[in-house]
Amino acid sequence: MTASFTPAGLRNAFALLSAPGLIRLITEIDDNGPIPPRRLAGTLPDLSVYQLRRAADAARAHGLVRVAPGVGLDLTASGSELADFYDATARWARRHACPTRVCDFTGRLRHTLSLLAPTLVADPAEGCLRPVGADLLSAEADADLAHPRILLVQWLNANPQVTLLFEPEPVA
């Protein structure tokens, strides 16, 4: 499935994919279209300038967004596919009230990614393939989690660049 990825590479991918700023950026563009130039802070006012800059830089570096002339920040095909994965994952989480019945979109995604990560990242030497808290899932929820897991593996295989660690340039 993800045999070509190292545990460190998968950890990098999960760190990127579960970053609140990236989740908000990708889903905002997916839901409402491109973000016009110089409107990022006004579009996502609850995120700090640092979070916005880091999310936008990481998304561009990993090929998830592009700056379209005259349009602004827009999703690439990879970014659109990531948004589809986020939507499917959030639907699973809402259906199974995970982590709780009432939770925001970003919280649901981050929690579900924390359930998916150990099953893909596990180091055979560590011997742990079940995430903490997974035993609390019903059999139905655990079985249904296979769909987001398959989507994630497909997306990771199509986007190996996300396994590379992103280090933004220092701000002068």
Residue 170 domain-assigned? no
Phi then psi dihedrals of residue 72, to 5 deg: 115, -155
Separation between Cα atoms, residue 164 and residue 16, nearest integer Å: 10
Residue 129 domain-assigned? yes
Separation between Cα atoms, residue 21 and residue 58, nearest integer Å: 10
When divided into structural domains, the chain yields a total of 1
Say what the pLDDT of residue 96 is: 85
User: What's the average model confidence in pLDDT over 22-48?
Assistant: 95
Query: To the nearest whole percent, how much of the chain has pLDDT over 70?
Result: 83
Say what the pLDDT of residue 3 is: 47
Separation between Cα atoms, residue 103 and residue 163, nearest integer Å: 28
pLDDT at 128 over 70: no
Residue 166 domain-assigned? no
Q: What is the CATH number of the domain that holds 68?
A: 1.10.10
Inter-CA distances, 81 with 16, 50, 139, 156, Å: 15, 25, 28, 10
Say what the pLDDT of residue 166 is: 64
Among 97-101, 110-114, 136-140, the minimum mean pLDDT is found in 136-140
pLDDT band at 133 (very low <50, low <70, confident <90, very high): very low
**Tokens encoding 84:** 């589809």
- Name the residue range of residue 110's domain: 7-159
**Tokens encoding 150:** 């398959």
Query: Tokens 């396994």 identify what position?
Result: 163
pLDDT at 28 over 80: yes
